Amino acid sequence: MHSVTVEIPDDEYWRRQIKCQYACPVYTDARGYVRAIARGDFESAYLIARGPNPLASICGRVCGAPCEAACRRGAVDQAVSIRALKRFVTERFGPESFTQETLKPISLLQRVLSHRHQRECSGLEEVASLRERLHLSGGGGVGRKVAIVGSGPAGLACAHDLALLGYRPVVYEMEPVPAGMLAVGIPEYRLPRDLIRAEVEVIEALGVEFVCNTQVGRDVTLARLRAEHEATVIAVGAKRSRKIPIPGGDGPGVLGGVEFLRDVALNNRSPASTLHQLGGRVVVIGGGNVAYDVSRTVIRQVGYDVSRSVLRQAQVREVHLCCLESVDEMPADDVEILEGHEEGVLLHPSRGPVELVRDASGRLTGGRFKKCLRVFDENRRFAPQFDESDVITLDADTVIWAIGQQPDLSFIDPAGDVRLTERGLIDCDADTLRTTAADVFVAGDIAYGPRLLIDAVASGKKCARVIHSHLSGQRLETSSTLVHLNLPDYEREQDYEKLPRTGIPTVAAADRRSDQRVTVERGYDERLAVTEACRCLDCGVNTIFDSQKCILCGGCADVCPELCLQLVSSDRLEGGDELAALLRTRYGEGADLSEASAIIKDEEKCIRCALCEQRCPVGAITMERVQFSSCWTAGAEPAAAQR
């Protein structure tokens, strides 16, 4: 008979079972707020979501949702719609729900900080524990100034946490509005601008200063910022579009996707603006979310322009999107592809650009694209192969590149102490976020390359802690507690395991194409939100087996609807030295393990229905909720030496 590999549960094992929280870069207890919604406690749900995440309301709209990708319910049918549930509670209790009462932002923060003690599973990103510890030890920033270059998600999160720690962050932003790419790179139909303003106002209420229309390197030097602040954070993000050098690629009619989105967001109608160059046929090159942002924005922008008497440019008849990847390989979210199709984006997968075609006057007339046979090699390295004989031509007045972005680091002196790598990026330690200069740190995309919005938030929060250690001389340590709480009356909602995923209501495609401001998703109402939340498997609850009581009747395995329990002989178990030591302790040295039995469980299949507990005739099975708290403490020793 085949062997079975098992794992002996420890504290880390139980944390990993809450897969949504474990997958979140800021360790948000998604299970906690989803289950709070299921029982109708919407305010607690919001406070749980906001605890580790200063941009919870924004993430409720545009987060890449690694929690959903990890959700155990996805192995049963479809993942719980966690992001949409976050939006449901932020709309009711987040800053976007505020009136004009001036004390509201501070009131929100007070509620978030005080609610930490009521949470079942709190992680290290909960800044409340660090703030409390610093208050007790007399630490904190006591008004020391820190410059932050860039007000995107990393810069905002860093400023938020530094302010809570008592520092005076000053955020320098090149755009006329704060929030960086959140404000100028994400279309308004996905992320309303009043929501961004509300989120930023909460951070401002902490004492954070925003200096907009100020580009480092043009309006102020990096050297001056360093001289006027005790530490400087570079969090500029990647705001320049990448392009591939191909024949015909230089000249009019070729735009960068990031630059186009910025012009639309700021309503930039200068003579050089990309908004005056679209024409009637547009081809977008790229297969990610940004490519769809660009394509869908083009459709809306023209619908908006032709409705205004002063702007009668020819309406775009077609928007084509070409990408190297097949539909299954495309990095764009499935919902982006579906909604883009609904709105009229014409997709050409597995196509790579050969050249852009121009007439005798140099005017762009189209693009030629060859068939891509594969994008990656056997080792998943980027190594596209093409069929050179399979080439199509698409007519085009405009081609927009959306194949990636890169930062603008021209403000850094190559001869200075902030060194650059051979690739022209900042030489930094991605783990510590330190650069080669003792007082300069990095956060977000500039530290580790493009990732999700929530990764940038996590990076900004981490950077705040690193700076605090650097400036205060306090070494940050961690402490954790974990307990199991017996749930003798545990039960679930009726037929929760049969509920299909609740679709997120959206505006009809015909109604959303005419204006950038028409939000595509309507979001859940209370009935839909509670229904969807009830689908959560509540992975913080676990079946615990008492081997002293178990009579090995197998009734638990027989009643399990997901067949996740097995009764096997102990000699079939494999689990390394730890398992061997446990078996020796249990049965003695040299015991015949074929005569001993064990119950093993497949955690991936378990739906926490408690039927095994109810079936057990001797009470050997209990349903227990894991509760843990991880927090930062401030040590007395100085921080580690600089790089």
Tell me the C-alpha distance between 277 and 254, whole Å: 9
Rounded to two decimals, the pTM is 0.93
Assess whether pLDDT exceeds 90 at residue 307.
no
Which candidate, 443, 479, 436, 438, places its Cα nearest to that of 461?
Answer: 443
Q: What percent of the chain clears pLDDT 70, i.e. is strictly above it?
A: 93
| 58 token code pair | 């924004």
**pLDDT at position 306, please?**
44
Most confident by average pLDDT, 120-124, 514-518, 591-595, 638-642? 514-518
Mean pLDDT is lowest, of 104-108, 167-171, 185-189, for 104-108
| DSSP designation for 637 | S
pLDDT band at 135 (very low <50, low <70, confident <90, very high): low
**pLDDT at position 200, please?**
96
Q: Which residue has the higher pLDDT, 344 or 313?
A: 344
**pLDDT at position 303, please?**
52
Q: Which residues of 491-512 are buried (b: 16+ CB within 10 A; e: fewer)?
A: ebeeebbebeebebebeeeeeb
- DSSP letter string, 220-288: B-HHHHHHHSSEEEE-----EE-----TT-SSTTEEEHHHHHHHHHTT--STT-GGG---SEEEEE--S
Tell me the per-residue pLDDT of 220-248, one tens digit each, with 9 for 90 and over. Answer: 999 999 999 999 999 998 889 999 999 99
- DSSP letter string, 337-359: HHHHHHHTEEEE-SEEEEEEEE-
Assess whether pLDDT exceeds 80 at residue 408.
yes
Tell me the per-residue pLDDT of 501-545, one tens digit each, with 9 for 90 and over. Answer: 999 999 999 999 888 899 999 999 999 999 999 999 999 999 999
Element (H, E) at 377: none
| Residue 528 half-sphere exposure toward CB, CA atoms < 13 A | 17
Average pLDDT, the chain: 90
Q: Show the DSSP H helices in 63-192 as ranges.
A: 66-70, 82-93, 104-114, 127-137, 153-164, 181-184
Is the separation of the CB atoms in 22 and 15 below 8 Å?
yes
**pLDDT at position 65, please?**
96
**pLDDT at position 269, please?**
73
The burial of 8, by beta-carbon neighbours within 10 Å (0-12 exposed, 13-18 middle, 19 or more buried), is given as exposed
- The helix/strand/coil state of 420 is strand
Domains of the chain: 140-239+407-473 (3.50.50.60), 244-402 (3.50.50.60)
Q: Which residue has the higher pLDDT, 124 or 455?
A: 455
**pLDDT at position 1, please?**
64
Tell me the C-alpha distance between 166 and 168, whole Å: 7
pLDDT band at 582 (very low <50, low <70, confident <90, very high): confident
| DSSP designation for 517 | T
Q: What's 37-67 look like in SS3?
A: HHCCCHHHHHHHHHCCCCCHHHHHHHCCCHH
Bridge-partner residues for 284, per DSSP? 321, 400
Query: Going by DSSP bridges, is the β-strand pair 382-395/254-256 parallel, antiparallel, or unpaired?
Result: unpaired
Q: Which residue has the higher pLDDT, 316 or 57?
A: 57
Assess whether pLDDT exceeds 70 at residue 311.
no
- The helix/strand/coil state of 116 is helix
pLDDT band at 641 (very low <50, low <70, confident <90, very high): very low
Which candidate, 399, 264, 391, 396, places its Cα nearest to that of 318?
Answer: 396
Mean pLDDT is lowest, of 306-320, 472-486, 574-588, for 306-320
Assess whether pLDDT exceeds 50 at residue 309.
no
Tell me the per-residue pLDDT of 422-458, one tens digit each, with 9 for 90 and over. Answer: 888 999 998 899 999 999 999 999 998 889 999 999 9
Beta-carbon neighbour count of residue 398 at 10 Å?
A: 22
Q: What angle do CA 223, 225, 229 make, to 5 degrees?
A: 120
**pLDDT at position 31, please?**
96
- The helix/strand/coil state of 108 is helix
Is the separation of the CB atoms in 330 and 349 below 8 Å?
yes
Mean pLDDT is lowest, of 50-64, 188-202, 297-311, 412-426, for 297-311
Is the separation of the CB atoms in 350 and 325 below 8 Å?
yes
- The dihedral formed by the CA atoms of 588, 590, 595 and 600, expressed in degrees to the nearest 10: 70
| 589 token code pair | 């040295």
Is the separation of the CB atoms in 170 and 229 below 8 Å?
yes
Tell me the C-alpha distance between 24 and 16, whole Å: 11
Residue with tokens 């190297």: 324
User: Using DSSP, how many helices (H) and how many strands (E) does the chain show?
Assistant: 23, 23
The letter for the amino acid at 158 is C
Q: Which residues of 218-230 are buried (b: 16+ CB within 10 A; e: fewer)?
A: eebebeebbeebb
Which candidate, 535, 530, 608, places its Cα nearest to that of 45?
Answer: 530
**pLDDT at position 268, please?**
83
**pLDDT at position 310, please?**
36
Assess whether pLDDT exceeds 90 at residue 590.
no
Tell me the per-residue pLDDT of 457-496, one tens digit each, with 9 for 90 and over. Answer: 999 999 999 999 999 888 777 888 999 999 998 999 999 9
Q: What angle do CA 468, 476, 231 make, to 5 degrees?
A: 15
Q: Which residues of 91-106 are buried (b: 16+ CB within 10 A; e: fewer)?
A: bebbbbebeeeeebbe
The burial of 450, by beta-carbon neighbours within 10 Å (0-12 exposed, 13-18 middle, 19 or more buried), is given as middle
Tell me the C-alpha distance between 487 and 354, whole Å: 64
In order of 213, 365, 536, the CA distances from 354 in angstroms are 39, 14, 48
Assess whether pLDDT exceeds 80 at residue 13.
yes
Tell me the C-alpha distance between 4 and 566, whole Å: 10
Residue with tokens 């070729």: 254
Tell me the per-residue pLDDT of 188-223, one tens digit each, with 9 for 90 and over. Answer: 999 999 999 999 999 999 999 999 999 999 999 999
The interaxial angle of helices 30-38 and 82-93, nearest 10 deg, is 70
Is the separation of the CB atoms in 291 and 332 below 8 Å?
yes
First to last CA, the chain: 54
Q: Where are the beta strands (DSSP E) in 428-577?
A: 440-442, 476-486, 541-545, 565-569, 573-574
